[in-house]
Amino acid sequence: MLRKGIALAALGLALVGGPALAAGDAKTPEPVDFSFKGPFGKFDQAQLQRGYKVYREVCAACHGMELLSFRNLGQKGGPFYDPDYSNPNDNPYVKTIAAEYQVNDIDSETGDIIQRPGTSADAFPSPYPNEAAARAGNGGALPPDLSVMAKARKYGPDYIHALLAGYREPPAGLTVAPGQYYNPYMAGDTTPFWTGEGHAPEGGFIAMPPQLAPDKVTFDDGTPSTIDQQAKDVAAFLYWAAEPKMEERKAFGFGAMIYLVIFAGLLYASYRRIWRNVAH
Amino acid sequence: MSGHSTYEPKTGIERWLDTRLPIVRLGWDSIVDYPTPKNLNYWWTFGGILAVCLGIQIVTGVVLAMHYVPHVDHAFASVERIMRDVNYGWLVRYMHANGASMFFIAVYIHMFRGLYYGSYKAPREVLWILGCIIYLLMMATAFMGYVLPWGQMSFHGAVVITNLFGALPIVGEAITTWLWGGFAVDNATLNRFFSLHFLLPFMIAGVVGLHIWALHVPGNNNPTGVNVKSKADTVPFHPYYTVKDGFAIVLFLILFATFLFFNPNALGHADNYIPANPLVTPAHIVPEWYFLPFYAILRAVPDKLGGVILMFGAIAVLFVLPWLDTSKVRSMRYRPTGKLYFMIFVVACLVLGYCGGQLPDNHVIPGLSTFILIDADLNSMVWLSRLATLYYFGYFLVILPLLGLTETPTAQPESISTPVLSHPAGMPAGAVAAPEKKG
Amino acid sequence: MADTVVGENPDPHAAGEDPNRRDFIHIAAGAAAVGAVGALAWPFIDQMNPSADTLALASVEFDLSKVALGQQVTIKWRGKPLFIRKRTEAEIAAAVADDGANMPDPEADEVRHKPGKAEWMILIGACTHLGCVPTFAGGDYGGWFCPCHGSHYDTSGRIRRGPAPLNLPVPEYEFLSDTTVKVG
Ligand code: HEM
Ligand code: FES
């Protein structure tokens, strides 16, 4: 008979029929049991705060997050949401974070470009003034903006965690060019650089050196700061950054589902009643 | 509309309006007292579902257009702003994005329904052709809509599809330049796509009006394919089909809500969350799932022009289908051989969709490596696509024309009511599950 | 062609059954449909309200040292002009002197500025008639003059003559220090 995959209905097909990765690509990231997974999943605020700290102290040196503003940190569901400050612009913690950054502005008197401390309404400033500067600072590679990174890669936060915690010594026989690092989760093809036995190792090369190290970030809540923990936390934070309305969406969806199911039941009863004397 | 109208204006105002603009009469004759075959099954509810889909797309689309900025520098960020800052923007945007997929699920079921029950045959050829036009317009609309967020897939999808026209001899290059409004997909392209994406759904709505008009002249087909013979064969549209369609619509909305609220990006592609970069093409560029069968046909042909012709031919053949099928019998119920070929056709379409999402050189059966036969790796997706493409065209151009002349259909019922009336045990099928509860 | 006629359709409301019960389920289903549309209507209305980023810009801080005595600086606040005027002694005196005068919208000058900050007049620069921007120091009262339909405002921003019904509104603001003010 036909392959099982072929027999899938159009819908199922749509789900699995996405692009297949080329044979022998990157390692599939191991699923992390993040608190926000599943239909009822929510963000873990403490984790988001730790993740923000990792982003701030490690990633932000090279990666921007320009679609987010400081106020987002204090909005409902965000890492520094405080029910006392339902307007995130007034949240003192958010204001302090914003003020730690210098943002570009124009002096309304002189027209000069100036730097001033950020306010909660400001967007996160990018670490480099422009793309050329970003490339120049990173050996020609461009550190991508992280605002929607957790949605812009297959496996999303699982991938981010796997990549950050997954650097390995390159296997003997793999030539790694200067300024490049081997990572089994990175997309790419190692075949041209492989002189060893058998199949070339999975994964590819990345221009970002390993960033995380034990105790590199001190977690204020006392969580042991392992590489794995840092990677998980920053992945969770980036998922929040990419999908800040997730909790609202699921809550809305839960209500909508209940409503629709009851509605369907009523319509079905009505339908049976209307049709019950028709032979068809 | 056929038959005579049963509308009777009751009040003075209704009478006044009826002699000037009989719009209430039109509505009455179309959706209240419209005589509908009483044996329509759930496959017939997808017309109503499609109307709801179109409504959802138009309403959410108009809202998105209030916040969206059609400029290469701002489009991506403006969509994200809708998701983050606009009140309920995430809801509206995810509704629109997933709504397009739902629309295509419904239209494909609707079309396969027509293929199976022979709804394209006389006297419904015009109805069918109008449906095909709607489908074409839907594809154009969905394609241009997908360009608007200006992600990597938007951009490179637009590049690939517009370049298809470059395959045309002599005029090809002039046409692509004209489509782009420049020498590449750029701001001018984005702007015109936005304008057209806004316009086309209203044209679809217009053609849907014609489609429904063309439906109401001959009346609905039905699962037996047998013409309505007497009033015993029909029920008024309201309340019988309003409630049945309504029930099906709500079930469909449950499916929709599952994606919308709990997996809103499952039907999309991660690469479209990367802002468009004209200098780098994503490693695997694939269209949205609903275009995958056509994408597979395109790639099945090793020649650029040939692939384009075949791909458009796959849609063009639908337009002439009413004259290709020679069978006098409408419904496949009474065409056992035809039914078998039809089922294989459905599988061929699914296979094409599957292949469209795979790399051409991927193996069909992963365990087996290559299966070389006269220079061709028969275990590759491209060869599977070729096989399925062959069947796709064979079904329309060879099987349907010849089968009608050679097959022996089984006995059709005298009328819609007969198979029901001859139901054993005198127990009408529909009454079984309607227990009377005295209260 | 199928000459279909409406006819002996089985009556959906047939059969001897309690009519109240019979209708209830249809009414409930209908009500659920109305409810669903109603519930969805709100998001589609609310989306036109100011978005989160718009609201975030709703307050501005301003450095008062940029305004010279007797002058005014106009800044944009919530999309509208905001007048920040440093009044001279004479202008303040003129405004206070007119506190008892007959005017359409009587108000004392004292309540239109912060206590002890009489020199700072901070107003929303939209004419209360139909929204034009009044010009600085024009008109019969030396305050503002609206060129659109001729409204005269005094140095306290009070309407004295012309079609405008109300005084120029005072926004919500506070002094963060002697030289910075936060509006909104
Ligand atoms: C926006 C898209 C469309 C809408 C809103 C729409 C709507 C409808 C509606 C309301 C009906 C009557 C009820 C029913 O049969 O379910 C109908 C019938 C029909 N439609 Fe469509 N339609 C659409 C697209 C198409 C397409 C793409 C095709 C085929 C290529 C098509 C072919 C037909 C046919 C053949 C019928 C007659 C069905 C019969 O009575 O057997 N429609 N359509
Ligand atoms: S708007 Fe100022 S006077 Fe009419």
Atom from ligand 2 closest to the CA of residue C132: 1
- pLDDT confidence of residue B3: 56
- pLDDT tier at C14 (50, 70, 90 boundaries)? very low
Mean pLDDT to the nearest integer, B66-83: 97
Q: What is the pLDDT of residue B250?
A: 98
Radius of gyration of chain A (CA): 24
Tokens of residue A194, six digits: 């492989």
Chain A residues in contact with B240 (beta carbon < 8 A): 274-275, 278
> Is 50 exceeded by the pLDDT of residue A14?
no
Asked if the model's pLDDT at residue B424 lies above 80, the reply is: no
Highest mean pLDDT among A12-16, A23-27, A166-170: A166-170
pLDDT for B375 beyond 90 = no
- pLDDT bracket for residue B432 (50, 70, 90): very low
Collect all residues with Cβ–Cβ distance below 8 Å to B359 and sequence separation of at least 6: A19, A20, A22, B284, B381
The finding on whether C138 has its CB within 6 A of some atom of ligand 2 is: no
Q: Tell me what the mean pLDDT of segment B304-313 comes to.
A: 94
Alpha-carbon gap, residue A73 to A92, rounded angstroms: 11
Ranking A264-268, B425-429, C97-101 by mean pLDDT, the lowest is: B425-429
pLDDT score at C147: 94
Phi, psi of B148 (to 5 degrees): -60, -40
| Per-residue pLDDT, B376 | 66
What is the percent of chain B where pLDDT is above 70? 92
Q: Which residue minimizes the CA distance to atom 3 of ligand 2?
A: C149
d(CA A183, CA A164) in angstroms, rounded, equals 9
Closest ligand to Cα B108 = 1
CB A257 within 8 A of CB B257: yes
pLDDT (tens digit per residue) in B93-110? 999 999 999 999 999 999
Mean pLDDT score across all residues of chain B: 91
The predicted structure's pLDDT at residue C18:
55
CA C169–ligand 2 middle distance (angstroms): 14
pLDDT at A278 over 50: yes
Q: In what order do the strands lie in the sheet with C180-183?
A: C60-63, C180-183, C173-175
Average pLDDT over residues B282-291: 91
**Interchain contact, B273 vs A242, CB within 8 Å:** yes
Report the percent of chain B where pLDDT is more than 90. 83
What mean pLDDT comes out for the span B186-197? 98
> Which is higher by pLDDT, A23 or B203?
B203
C179 versus A147: the higher-pLDDT residue is: A147
Q: φ and ψ at C74, to 5 degrees?
A: -105, 125
Tell me which residues have their CB closer than 6 angstroms to ligand 1: B 44, 46-48, 50-51, 54, 107, 110-111, 114, 117, 119-120, 124, 127-128, 131-132, 134-135, 204, 208, 211-212, 215, 220-221
ipTM confidence: 0.90
Q: Using a cut of 0.95, tell me whether the model's pTM lies above it.
A: no
pLDDT at B356 over 80: yes
Q: CA C47 from chain center: how many Å? A: 18
- In tens, the pLDDT along A79-138 reads 999 999 988 888 999 999 999 999 988 876 678 888 989 989 999 999 999 999 999 999
Three-class SS of chain C? CCCCCCCCCCCCCCCCCCHHHHHHHHHHHHHHHHHHHHHHHHHHHHCCCCCHHHHHCCCEEEEHHHCCCCCEEEEEECCEEEEEEECCHHHHHHHHHHHHCCCCCCCCHHHHCCCCCCCEEEEECCCCCCCCCCEECCCCCEEEEECCCCEEEECCCCEEECCCCCCCCCCCEEECCCCEEEEC
CB atoms within 10 A of CB B73: 11
Pairing of strands C173-175, C180-183: antiparallel
Angle value at C-alpha B331, between B310 and A13, nearest 5 degrees: 50
Chain C residues whose CB is inside 8 A of the B29 CB are none
Q: In the prediction, which pLDDT does B359 show?
A: 84
- b (16+ CB within 10 A) / e for B397-406: eebbeebbee
The structure tokens 């257009």 sit at: B65
**Residues C18-31: pLDDT tens digits?**
555 668 899 999 99
- Check if C149 is active-site: yes
The residue-averaged pLDDT of B241-259 equals: 97
Residue A19 has pLDDT above 60, yes or no: no
* Band (B368; pLDDT cuts 50, 70, 90): low
Q: What element of type H or E holds C84?
A: strand C80-86
- Does residue B80 have a pLDDT over 50? yes
